[in-house]
Amino acid sequence: MRKSWWKIVCVVLLIYTVIAGFLFNVPRLSIVNETIRALYFHVPMWFGMVFLFLFSMIYAIRYLKNHSLQNDIYSTAFASVGLVYGLLGIFTGMIWANYTWGTPWHGDPKQNGAAIATLVYLAYFILRSSIENEEQRARLSAVYNIFAFAAMIPLIFIIPRMTDSMHPGSGGNPGFNMYDLDSKMRMVFYPACAGWILLGVWISTLQIRTRLLEETILDQENE
């Protein structure tokens, strides 16, 4: 185990999330009822995704600066785990929407924005798989990565706030005001976000380390 203290923090936070998420008191609201607890699991997927995509972009910029293949490996790993989080966010959201809004796909601006952002990142992997040359692939996908992040932020955070959205915190109503009536929810929600972000980073590092091992093996074979 390498640098294991934050992995222990991650495990503790996630187990705390499940226990506190189901046992602590939540505000009694009509329509959402007990499903308000889905906030502890659905929203951290998006927080995790945004952070992982941010790390991915940072390593993409680093690659463009020094052209080291290692940065390309980091960037791809963060993007792929981020994409998994995004897909989980969309599907958990669809289950929740089916119960509270009546249909799984409501055409809500935030829902559509998230779907487009996910497609933008899917295209990142299609772009990667379509280029044979290693350096060219790394360079082009690093440039595209920066574009993808720049496209995702307005799609998820800005456009839904400018129009009416069924999501809380949208339609000129910033933050989680509706849910924050109860400060107890924050005591579970923030640790949940931290825990899921850490798990995403952990899984990314596993992918990075395997890829780096693969590279050293290939290097040795070429010697």
Partner 1 sequence: MKALLIVLGILASPLLFAQEVEMADTMRSEGKIYVVVSILVLILAGLILYVFLTDRKISRLEQKMAEKKG
**Comparison of 51 and 149: residue with beta carbon closer to partner 1:** 51
Task: Tell me the two tokens of residue 65.
Answer: 């600066």
**Comparison of 74 and 124: residue with beta carbon closer to partner 1:** 74
**Comparison of 6 and 147: residue with beta carbon closer to partner 1:** 6
Interaction between residue 19 and partner 1 (CB under 8 A): yes
Which of 28, 65, 67, 184 binds partner 1 (CB under 8 A)? It is 28
**DSSP type of residue 158:** I
- d(CA 60, CA 66) in angstroms, rounded, equals 10
- Of 86, 95, 88, the closest CA to residue 116 belongs to 86
Give the nearest distance from C-beta 216 to partner 1 in angstroms.
6
- Of 166, 149, 196, 152, the closest CA to residue 43 belongs to 196
Task: Tell me the two tokens of residue 68.
Answer: 């080291």
- d(CA 131, CA 46) in angstroms, rounded, equals 29
Which of 66, 103, 130, 216 binds partner 1 (CB under 8 A)? It is 216
Interaction between residue 30 and partner 1 (CB under 8 A): yes
Interface mask (CB under 8 A) for partner 1, residues 193-212, using x and -? ------x--xx--x--xx--
- d(CA 205, CA 144) in angstroms, rounded, equals 22
> For the chain, what is the radius of gyration of the CA atoms?
19
**Comparison of 135 and 215: residue with beta carbon closer to partner 1:** 215
What is the binding site for partner 1 (CB under 8 A)? 1-2, 7, 11, 14-15, 18-19, 22-23, 28-30, 33-34, 199, 202-203, 206, 209-210, 213, 216-217, 220
